[in-house]
Chains A and B, each alone.
Chain A
Amino acid sequence: MIQFTVEDFNGERQTLEIPEGISLSLMEVLKGSDYNILATCGGMALCATCHVQVLEGGDALPDLNDAEGAMLDTLPDAGSDSRLACQLRVDETLQGAVFRLRGAE
């Protein structure tokens, strides 16, 4: 099982347990877990409504791809710990990470 923690818009934290090899993005898992994110563009790094801040475990994550980096650079409120959940695969790199939801509700 892959375990990571999500902090919602109210600051409440919940740890999710996801089976290995699930082949979903973090955005898809967040939507599937009933988090109120829009994910308007469906995972193409276009809308940034799945913007998350990585509070812990950021070093283990894969590097930003070009589309994700370019989109994050355009955002007014992104920081060096920002990622797009749609560009992160749910696999062992997420083990123990803590994500805070930032994208628009």
Chain B
Amino acid sequence: MTTTDICIIGAGPVGLFAVFEAGLLKMRCHLIDALPQVGGQLSEIYPHKPIYDIPGFPEVKAQELVDNLMEQIAPFHPSFTLGERVESLEKREDGSFIVTTNEGTAVHCKVVVIAGGLGCFEPRKPEIQGLEEYEGKGVAYMVKNPELLRDRRVVLAGGGDSALDWTVFLADVAREVTLVHRGDSFRGAPDSAEKVYDLAREGRINLILQSNITSIHGNGHLQEVTLVGKDKTVTRLPTDHLIPLFGLTPKLGPIAEWGLQIDRSAIVVDTTDYSTNVERIYAIGDINTYPGKLKLILCGFHEAALMCQSAFKYVYPNQKLSFKYTTVNGIPTF
């Protein structure tokens, strides 16, 4: 088990800067992020886009800002768990927490800081009768191991890039591949769309346009999906697997079950120190809300600084905190 002072959930810009502010107060940090790399939205979604409202930087590219933050916090040797999602939180008698991820990684910490941004990106689930009943029994929202689909019958649903790409890939793996799309064309990724049309012409996949899957059936395991076309024709299609690929949508995830006060997918905090209604849990950056909240990186930086001043009392209960300037004292590395 990793032991640290502060466990930061979310390694976006605000989570990263919190390491710096904590480091100035000699508090160690461990960061957990569901994405495989640090930087959050900045690295994942718009690494090459310029940002114009970071103080002192007339213009900085998103990835450049993340790289700079990593350099800035390096003296404080933060540790990372990347590509894992935080699942549960256990409070110990001494007030400390054990944070556990979906892969079973456990972090023992004195303070939890949620810097989760938009939340975790989770698969969007279509409204199909019986869908959840067959999750893990033929229904999956991502292809983790294509070999499990070898020589099987697979129905994919969706019209985005991942639906097209997986259709092309699985055409060589599965026994039978059917792609169901509600539209009559594909607007993204023209190359992938062309490949899918070619495969359909060659008879190597079934392409069913202008149709929706309305219900699924089986007997302990998925056996059949029911499609309804735009012209209301109903088709029943035998299959072993259904993979709905309707993109990802940001969700709070398991954090929503931690007893925190939530308002419209954001965590309510006290603006004196960005603490939540649960002692020793703070929320900073885009994931929190309070009157006048602005979802700006620079506001998240400010929140991180105030949070650390407050969290100090849990990490060093017997010490008095005296405020120091880096210009006077430099960076106290450890």
Contacts and interface: CB of A to CB of B under 8 A. Distances in A.
A41 B250 contact: yes
B118 interface: yes
A77 B127 contact: yes
B103 to A, nearest CB: 26
Interface string B35-67: 000000000011000000000000000000000
Interface stretch (B75-83, B155-163, B217-225): B155-163
Given A40-B265, A74-B124, A77-B127, A46 B45 contact: yes
Contact of B158 (A38, A46, A74): A74
Given A40-B265, A41-B118, A70-B160, A75 B124 contact: yes
A47 B246 CA distance: 11
A48 interface: yes
Nearest to A69: B187
A105 to B, nearest CB: 9
Given A40-B265, A46-B45, A77-B127, A69 B188 contact: yes
Most chain-B CB neighbours within 10 Å: which of A46, A48, A49, A76?
A76
A71 interface: yes
Interface in A68-90: 69-80
A55 interface: no
B244 interface: yes
A101 B45 CA distance: 26
Nearest to A76: B126
Contacts of A38: 264-265
Interface in B255-281: 264-265
Interface in B135-174: 157-163
A64 B185 CA distance: 14
B242 to A, nearest CB: 13
Interface residues of A, number: 23
A57 interface: no
A76 B158 CA distance: 7
Interface residues of B, number: 31
Most chain-B CB neighbours within 10 Å: which of A42, A72, A75?
A75
Contacts of A48: 124, 247, 249
Interface string A29-54: 00000000010111010111100000
B183 interface: yes
A66 interface: yes
Interface in A88-105: none
A80 B245 CA distance: 19
Contacts of B250: 40-41, 46-47
Nearest to A82: B183
B164 to A, nearest CB: 9
A52 B334 CA distance: 52
B121 to A, nearest CB: 9
Contacts of B244: 76
B264 to A, nearest CB: 7
A30 to B, nearest CB: 14
A76 B264 CA distance: 23
Contact of B127 (A47, A73, A76): A76
B140 to A, nearest CB: 16
Contacts of A73: 158-160, 183, 186-188
A66 B190 CA distance: 11
B175 interface: no
Nearest to B245: A74
Contact of A44 (B45, B160, B264): B45
Interface of A: 38, 40-42, 44, 46-49, 64, 66, 69-80
29 contacts: A38-B265, A40-B118, A40-B119, A41-B250, A42-B295, A44-B45, A46-B45, A46-B118, A47-B118, A47-B250, A48-B124, A64-B187, A66-B188, A70-B160, A70-B161, A71-B160, A71-B247, A73-B159, A73-B188, A74-B159, A74-B245, A75-B246, A76-B125, A76-B157, A76-B212, A77-B126, A77-B127, A79-B182, A80-B183
